[in-house]
Structure 1
Amino acid sequence: MQNNIGLQTAYWNGTTPKLDIYKIIDLTKKANMDTIELKAGDFVPLTTEERRKLKNYIKDAGLSVTVNGTGLRPERDVSSSDKESHEAGIKHLCHMLDLCVEMDAKLFSGIPYGLWNTRPDGEDIAGIKKVRTANAVKGLTEVAKHAEEAGVTMCLEIVNRFEQYTANTAEEGIAVCEAIGSEYCKLLLDTFHMNIEEDYIPDAIRTAHEKGYLGYLHIGESNRKIPAGGRKTNIDWEAIAETIKEIGFEGPLVMEPFVLNTSASAKSVSLWRAIKPADDIDGLVADAAAGVKYLKSL
């Protein structure tokens, strides 16, 4: 595949010693990546001048940028029926889009349609889902207008049933995008989540692309390891690669591995064991580089 291959910065979280964002950029480049995916915490807390410095460092490393992580909370949630929370969610997402512009990121993804790691707050699940989805569509329609002005595409990450309930499949995500009705609102499909929810991952990718809503892809094994050749795994990478080439999809393929149970996100993503030792930074680089080589070979 000739697509840009990327790696999310969260891959390095939890290493011993702890790495700062500049060292993470260096290691990402060393692993032969084309793209680095920043988490909100990598740049949101910084000053404008600090973000400019970070952006230039990434540019000098020859890496393009995507951003993942919307930062919605109960007090700022576009799916909320509470007017104050709903409007605060819109304002926050528009601010995130402005920060993406500062970082030269053209793709902004995550779960902008509601809260992550949540369940319906009542017994009428269908009714709650309908109301929450309608609220999200209303709010994101406004956010999408700002995305167009900013020149940044907002990609709704479609996650599995254990993490969210608004949209768990490409089909559900497409319906949300259609309701919003903006070319600046697309989908981020993730092989980890699709492995749980879709009947056949290549079909989900094809459908989203044919409908015009495939923004980009998160790539990872069913256990969130980096894809690599030479071993049998649950995901048919050859079939996925064939589909990507057949449909002519040119967006980035970003790896989002979680392998360190010492990371701040380990509990949130239910990682209860160490897949890699936290002090083997050279091994992390080697694994990431092997993933790039494998994906490029398909």
Structure 2
Amino acid sequence: MLSFSAYRLVNSQFSWASGLEDMGYEGWEIVSEGKQKITPETLPEIRDIISTANLRITVHGPFSDLNLASLNDPIWNETIRQIKQCVELSADFTDTVVVHPGALSPPGSEMKDKAWDRNIEALRALAAHAEEHGVRLCLENMPNMEKLLCRTPDELFGMVETIGSDSLGTTLDIGHANTTKNIPAFLKEAKRINHIHIHDNKGTADEHLAVGDGTADWSKVFKGLKDYNGALVVEGRTLEEGRRSLEFVKKQKAKSQ
């Protein structure tokens, strides 16, 4: 299933999403940020779009200014609270909520083991909450930024395995993996991937270019994912890039068959 996530459209309302089906997308990943944040106030508009479009809905949980690995209790507790609220509000129209791992704050950089343990503790609580609401959280690999956790397969899968909950899976972000040179290593573990984000870059910064506009080897990506049957979510900056990405992906998938 090909889906679209409006990564850079968080300052827009939801009306653009009603055209995704006509573009050829089968799903919509709601990014719970900015004006698209899932709240009791925005739910009616979200429900209106869902009711009139045949789109499978997934959700990207909030992440701005939040940190599951924070050693600052108020920040850590607020991070958990916001993700729990997102799960609660979206549970009746999605079974998948993407979450970011934490990052090393200045104190966390000095106490890395403690920051890692805080991240584990938070995800345990969130996975239990997700299970109560029939939702699976999917922990996402991060780009090549030193302070971010879960940049490598060992860290991502290791964190999920440590928690050991069926309500915590994984999101493979191909663009992020391209910046860390880990695409081949992640593809070797394709059976352990529950959800996928696709976008492109030149191999260093997390640019979120249209698929095919960067250096990711998409031929190898789609061959490595030939047995994957879940959502492929194009994380686009604009609808036009979403259109180009969609055509590129369809051609590459056809070649990989």
Identify the TM-score tier after normalising by the shorter chain: 0.7 to 0.9
The one-letter code of the counterpart of 2:254 is S
2:102 corresponds, among 99, 109, 114, to 114
1:37 aligns with 2:29: yes
1:188 partner SS: strand
2:210 corresponds, among 222, 226, 230, to 226
Residues 39 and 164 of structure 1: CA distance in aligned 2, closer, same or farther (over 3 Å): farther
Tell me by how many angstroms 1:45 deviates: 3.7
Bigger Rg, structure 1 or 2 = 1
2:3 partner SS: strand
1:251 partner SS: coil
CA distance in 2, matches of 1:285, 1:219: 11
Residue by residue over 1:6-59, the C-alpha shift from the partner in whole angstroms, topping out at 9 and shown as x without a partner, is 111235467xxxx5312x113322221011111113142442xx5144224224
Aligned to 2:2: 5
Q: Which has the higher contact order (CA 8 A, sep 6+)?
A: 1
Q: Percent identity?
A: 19
The one-letter code of the counterpart of 2:54 is G
2:197 partner SS: strand
Aligned to 1:270: none
Q: Aligned pair count? A: 248
CA distance in 1, matches of 2:163, 2:112: 17
Q: Does structure 1 conserve the Cα–Cα contact (< 8 Å) formed by 2:153 and 2:185? A: no
Tell me by how many angstroms 1:135 deviates: 0.6
CA distance in 1, matches of 2:76, 2:105: 17
Tell me by how many angstroms 1:187 deviates: 1.5
Residues 289 and 88 of structure 1: CA distance in aligned 2, closer, same or farther (over 3 Å): closer
Superposed CA RMSD in Å reads: 2.7
1:136 corresponds, among 106, 116, 119, to 119
1:66 aligns with 2:54: no
1:20 corresponds, among 10, 13, 17, to 13
CA distance in 2, matches of 1:20, 1:94: 23
CA distance in 1, matches of 2:51, 2:184: 33
The one-letter code of the counterpart of 1:30 is D
Residues 189 and 286 of structure 1: CA distance in aligned 2, closer, same or farther (over 3 Å): closer
Aligned to 1:241: 222
Q: Does structure 1 conserve the Cα–Cα contact (< 8 Å) formed by 2:3 and 2:25? A: yes
2:141 corresponds, among 147, 152, 158, to 158
